Amino acid sequence: MVWSVAGLVHAVSDALTARFSACTVRGEISGFSRATSGHCYLNLKDADTGAALIRCAMFRRAASLVDFAPADGQLVEVRGRLAVYEPRGELQFVIESMRRAGAGALYEQFLKLKARLEAEGLFDAQRKRTLPPFPRRVGVVTSLGAAALHDVLTALARRAPHVEVIVYPSLVQGADAPAALVAAITAAGLREEVEVLIVCRGGGSLEDLWAFNDERVARAIVACPVPVLCGVGHETDVTLADFAADVRAPTPTAAAELVSPTQEEGLALLAAVASVMTRRMHHVIDTQAQRLDHATLRLMRPADLMRRQTQRLALLGQRMAGYAEQSVPRQRQRCAESAKRLQRALGVTLTARQQRLGSLEGRLAALDPRRVLARGYAWLSDDRGTPITSAKALAVGQPVQAEFADGQATATITGVGTTRTE
């Protein structure tokens, strides 16, 4: 029996429909897209090994009943039937219902790594750098054959043709892509020839963009000495490279637009600056011209200046003469009054001092020992002139000297007696 292509495909479709008319499949979403018609198309891959994949279609009616937004990396359970898409002879699974089954393996890995790097501070807003307003050289890290490179170069050529672009080629997909991206970013930082670096690639599934979720790439972006702008995928695609970069752009074209103000914007800014500078220059010139006019007027009439100065000097001379005429009599009067006060004070002080001197002389005369001797007392001393004040210091036969008010006498002790006191 010879089958026609359509007959064979139809027969296989009938066999699959009869064998797998209703079944439930668990897998991870990859390459999800929603058409304008409302139909959704995706790949469902094995969540454990990722070695098996099946194409799926979910028509608008079934898609409208899904209570969440399907996205790449999500682990889901779908119920439907297995069929053959006859125009291309492809095996596909027609989804009639879908529900969450937990986070997919890649998506779960993405969330864990994001949480760890965020805890280390790699995504802190405080360390983010601002982009230079008018860069002269822009670096681009991407694949030489990528459509993203064409989009970036086209946008830069349209907006700022004067900006020089330096491309650092790198793989952007596959197992070797993370190491290549790290090498390109590091080289751009070491060569120090660009003012800002764009890391970009076009859109794709979570697996396609997985190189930009590598920890090594995120750390290389943070360590880069120049500001890094990341434009990976479409607006809905978010990678760890986006969080690590100083600025995130939704697309590669948007990244090029963020680093390159248009020529019109630059010219408008220059015109505004030139206008401000012109106004300030005219203001300075006008101010200095007015000062020059005032100085010229002064120099043209030196006689007036001399006359004013002469009048001022004459006025000052009159004031000084009048002050001298009034001040000298007052000072003389003050001097005369001061002399009178000084004389009175001197007389009072002299009288007081004389009275004190007389009092001290009387006290001193009262203490004169000769007056005591005049009253009949004598001053005894031994042969060395030491005063004798006690009978105990005398001995029989000891010579003594007696001092009287009117002369001296020498005597010898013939007897010693002491007065007994109680």
Nearest to 139 by CA among 151, 149, 124, 129: 149
Q: Judge whether 318 lies within some domain.
A: no
Question: 103, 121, 140: which is the final residue of a domain?
Answer: 103
> Are 139 and 240 in a shared domain?
yes
CB–CB of 147/204 below 8 Å? no
Which domain range does residue 253 map to?
A: 109-261
Residue 397 belongs to a domain: yes
At 300 the pLDDT is: 61
* Residues 281, 155 share a domain: no
133 domain-assigned: yes
pLDDT at 360: 86
pLDDT tens digits, one per residue of 143-181: 998 889 999 999 999 888 889 999 999 999 888 999 999
Residue 213 sits in the same domain as residue 282: no
Beta-carbon-side half-sphere exposure of residue 289 (alpha carbons within 13 Å): 6
Q: What is the pLDDT of residue 293?
A: 82
Which tokens in the block code for residue 352?
């007081």
For 354-368, the pLDDT digits (tens) are 888 888 888 887 777
Amino acid found at 337? E
Whether 251 and 201 have beta carbons less than 8 Å apart is answered as no
CATH code for position 64: 2.40.50.140
Question: How many Å apart are CA 242 and CA 139, to the nearest integer?
Answer: 17
Rounded Cα–Cα distance for residues 66 and 415 (Å): 153
Residue 243's closest CA among 222, 225, 259?
222
Per-residue model confidence (pLDDT) at position 254 = 92
Burial letters 225-235, b for 16+ CB under 10 A, else e: ebbbbbbbbee
Confidence of residue 277 (pLDDT cuts 50, 70, 90): very high
Residue 220: inside a domain, yes or no? yes
Confidence of residue 421 (pLDDT cuts 50, 70, 90): low
DSSP H helices, 42-129, are: 60-64, 105-120
The answer as to whether 186 is a domain residue is yes
User: Is the domain of 122 the same as that of 247?
Assistant: yes
- Closest residue by Cα to residue 41 from 12, 72, 68: 72
In this structure, is residue 40 part of a structural domain? yes
Which residue among 103, 122, 145 closes a domain? 103
- 119 plus 98 within the same structural domain: no
Q: Residue 400: what pLDDT?
A: 84
Helices (H) and strands (E) in the chain, counts: 11, 13
Mean pLDDT of 13-39: 85
| pLDDT at 420 > cutoff 70 | no
pLDDT of residue 105: 65
Residues 137 and 212 in one domain: yes
- The answer to whether residues 98 and 56 belong to one domain is yes
Q: Among 103, 131, 161, give the residue marking a domain's end.
A: 103
In this prediction, residue 22 carries a pLDDT of 82
Task: Report residue 37 as tokens.
Answer: 């018609």
Task: Say yes or no to pLDDT of 257 above 80.
Answer: yes
| Distance in angstroms (rounded) separating the CA atoms of residues 70 and 137 | 40
Same domain, 213 and 272: no
Q: Using pLDDT thresholds of 50, 70 and 90, give the confidence band for residue 212.
A: very high
Indicate whether 181 and 113 sit together in one domain: yes
Secondary structure (3-state) at 243: helix
Which residue carries 């990528």 as its tokens?
146
Q: Is the pLDDT of residue 82 over 80?
A: yes
pLDDT band at 47 (very low <50, low <70, confident <90, very high): confident
Q: Give the residue carrying structure tokens 């694949």.
A: 143
Tell me, yes or no, whether 296 lies in a domain. Answer: yes
Residue 101's H or E segment, with its range, is strand 90-103
CATH number of the domain residue 199 falls in: 3.40.50.10550
Beta bridge partners of 84: 91
- Within a domain: 310: no
pLDDT at 104: 60
Mark out the alpha helices in 193-301 (DSSP H runs): 215-223, 240-244, 252-259, 263-300
Measured distance between the N- and C-terminal CA atoms of the chain, rounded to whole angstroms: 175
**How many whole angstroms separate alpha carbon 269 and alpha carbon 267?**
5
Q: Above 60 in pLDDT, residue 12? A: yes
Which has the higher per-residue pLDDT, 328 or 105?
Answer: 328
Do 98 and 223 have their domain in common? no
Q: Which of 259, 192, 185, 261 is nearest to 229 (CA)?
A: 259
Residue with tokens 């300030």: 280
Looking at mean pLDDT, say which of 106-120, 126-140, 338-352 comes out highest: 126-140
Task: Report pLDDT for 266.
Answer: 72
Tens digits of per-residue pLDDT, 179-195?
Answer: 999 999 999 999 999 99
Q: Are residues 133 and 250 in the same domain?
A: yes
Residue 38: CB partners within 8 Å, gap ≥ 6?
59, 60, 63, 64
How many structural domains comprise the chain?
4
Query: Of 133, 196, 130, 200, which Cα lies nearest the Cα of 166?
Result: 196
Q: In this structure, are 254 and 117 located in the same domain?
A: yes
User: Which strands sit side by side in the sheet containing 137-142, from one edge to the other?
Assistant: 164-169, 137-142, 196-201, 228-232, 247-248
Nearest to 221 by CA among 122, 124, 134: 122
What percent of the chain is helix, strand and coil (3-state, nearest 5)?
A: 50, 20, 30
By residue count, the chain amounts to: 422
pLDDT > 70: what percent of the chain? 96
